[in-house]
């Protein structure tokens, strides 16, 4: 089966072998962003000629009022230059998952951050697909 990308938003993850998992390797926050790692443990940069479409964010936080964020940056552990996806604040909970839709451009690093200096924790994940641009 093929992965279907709809013109107006959703992604059908109907072939699990095509899903890419990115993992936050260390705690990240507003002043100390961290680049997500791919399945092999390498800092993830979207390959030339491709885009990464994120469909699910799974996050662990230090406090329930933090908004977890992922965005594009120009280097490893560099400041986010373009916010792409933001998780919701979870009243009373420090972990959760959320369906999101975000497009990361070729040549950009996928980087985690948060809305404050409270942390978006190690082990948070993004799930998506890598397709031709």
Q: What is the pTM of this model?
A: 0.84
Which of these ranges, 9-18, 24-33, 60-69, has the smallest mean pLDDT? 9-18
**Position 16 pLDDT exceeds 70:** no
Which of these ranges, 25-29, 60-64, 122-126, has the smallest mean pLDDT? 60-64
Per-residue pLDDT, 1: 39
Cα separations (Å) of 41 from 31, 115, 122? 23, 25, 13
Per-residue pLDDT, 103: 93
**Position 8 pLDDT exceeds 50:** no
Q: Give the C-alpha separation, 80 to 40, whole Å.
A: 23
Question: Which CATH number applies to 17-132?
Answer: 2.60.120
Cα-Cα-Cα-Cα torsion 43, 32, 100, 62, nearest 10 degrees, comes to 120
Domain boundaries, the chain: 17-132
């Amino acid at each position: 089966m093929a992965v279907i990308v709809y013109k107006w938003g959703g992604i059908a993850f109907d072939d699990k072998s095509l899903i890419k998992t990115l993992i936050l390797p260390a705690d990240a926050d507003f002043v100390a962003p961290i680049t997500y790692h791919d399945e092999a443990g390498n800092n993830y940069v979207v390959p030339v000629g491709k885009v990464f479409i994120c469909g699910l964010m799974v996050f662990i936080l230090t406090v329930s009022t933090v908004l977890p964020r992922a965005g594009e940056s120009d280097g490893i552990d560099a400041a986010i230059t373009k916010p792409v996806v933001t998780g919701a604040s979870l009243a009373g909970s420090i972990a959760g998952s959320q369906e999101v839709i975000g497009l990361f451009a070729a040549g950009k690093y996928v980087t985690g951050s948060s809305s404050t200096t409270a942390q978006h924790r190690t082990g948070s994940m993004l799930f998506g697909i890598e397709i031709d641009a």
